[in-house]
Amino acid sequence: MGEPKMLVTLTLDDVRDLLRDELATVASPALPRFLTVGQCAEWLDCTPQAIGKWCREDSMPFVQLGSERRFEPAQVVAWMRSRGRPLDLPAEPAARHLRAVRKG
């Protein structure tokens, strides 16, 4: 007969969170594997100086490539969420399109 099946009830918020987490792990053609400080700042709508401060003081995840920092979008999403700041993927240029769609 096989293993008994387990029934799980999910709220709409649970489904949204699961989908958002899944999207964070899927590569998007609009999203480079690693973002520069400038790209990350534009995506998060902040200054490059804020990114530097977060790296130094709040342990924002990054990869050091020579003298430059690079940011993996999925790690940035997880880091922002862990601090109670929801963040959507993908980043530029798709993020502008998503914002326009949401507003319209």
One-letter amino acid at 104 equals G
Of residues 14 and 89, more confidently modeled: 14
> At 82, which amino acid appears?
S
Is domain 31-103 given the CATH code 1.10.10.10 in the classification? yes
- 76: tokens are 């940035």
60-73 pLDDT, tens digit per residue, is 999 998 999 999 98
**DSSP secondary structure, 21-49, as one string:** HHHHHS--TTS-SSB-HHHHHHHHTS-HH
**Any idea where the domains of the chain sit in the sequence?**
31-103
Task: Specify the pTM.
Answer: 0.56
Q: Which residues contact 64 (CB under 8 A, 6 or more apart)?
A: 70
pLDDT tens digits, one per residue of 72-103:
988 888 888 888 877 665 444 444 444 444 44
DSSP tag of 5: P
Q: Which is higher by pLDDT, 25 or 44? A: 44
